[in-house]
Structure 1
Amino acid sequence: MGRKLQVAVVLFDGVAVLDAIAPYECLQLLPNVEVVFVAHKIGSFKDTFGYLSVNSTHTFQDITHPDILVVPGGLGIKNLLKDEAVLEWIEQVDNNTLYTTAVGSGSLLLAETGLLTGISATTHWSVKEALEKHGVKLSDDRVVQEGKIITAAGPTSAIEMGLKLAALVTSEEFAKSVQLILEYDPQVMYGTGSTTKAGPEVTAKATTLLYANELRASNH
Structure 2
Amino acid sequence: MQKLKVGMLLFPDMTILDFTGPYEVFSKAWCFEVIPVAVNTDPVKVEGGLIIQAAVSYHDCPQLDVIFVPGGKGINPLLTDKQTISFLQQQAEKARYITSVCTGALVLAAAGLLDGYKATTHWRSLELLRMFGVETVEARVVKDRNRITGGGVTAGIDFGLSFAATIAGEELAKVIQLQLEYNPQPPFHAGSPKTAEMPVLQKTRELTQLMLETRKKIIKELLSTSLQTNS
TM-score by length of 1: 0.90
**Partner letter of residue 21 of structure 2?**
A
Q: Distance in 1 between matches of 2:121 and 2:197?
A: 18
- 108, 124, 127: which is aligned to 2:125? 127
1:101-129 deviation line (CA, Å, top 9, x unaligned): 01111100000112212322111122221
**Partner letter of residue 35 of structure 2?**
V
Q: Secondary structure at the match of 1:196?
A: coil
Q: What residue in structure 1 maps to residue 43 of structure 2?
A: 44
TM-score by length of 2: 0.86
| Residues 1-220 of structure 1: pairs in structure 2 closer than 5 A | 3-49=2-48, 51-210=49-208
Deviation of the 1:189 alpha carbon: 2.2
1:135-154 deviation line (CA, Å, top 9, x unaligned): 01111111101101011111
Deviation of the 1:62 alpha carbon: 1.6
Deviation of the 1:79 alpha carbon: 0.8
Q: Secondary structure at the match of 1:31?
A: coil
Q: Secondary structure at the match of 1:144?
A: strand
RMSD (Å), alpha carbons: 1.8
Q: Secondary structure at the match of 2:59?
A: coil
Q: Is the 8 A contact 1:66 1:93 kept in 2?
A: yes
Q: Secondary structure at the match of 1:177?
A: helix
1:150-191 deviation line (CA, Å, top 9, x unaligned): 111111100000001111221111000000000000113211
Q: Distance in 1 between matches of 2:133 and 2:142?
A: 16
Q: Distance in 1 between matches of 2:126 and 2:31?
A: 34
**Partner letter of residue 91 of structure 2?**
V
Q: Is the 8 A contact 1:43 1:57 kept in 2?
A: no
Q: Is the 8 A contact 1:10 1:39 kept in 2?
A: yes
User: How many aligned residue pairs are there?
Assistant: 212
Deviation of the 1:213 alpha carbon: 9.6
Q: What residue in structure 2 maps to residue 217 of structure 1?
A: none
Deviation of the 1:212 alpha carbon: 8.6
**Partner letter of residue 92 of structure 2?**
D
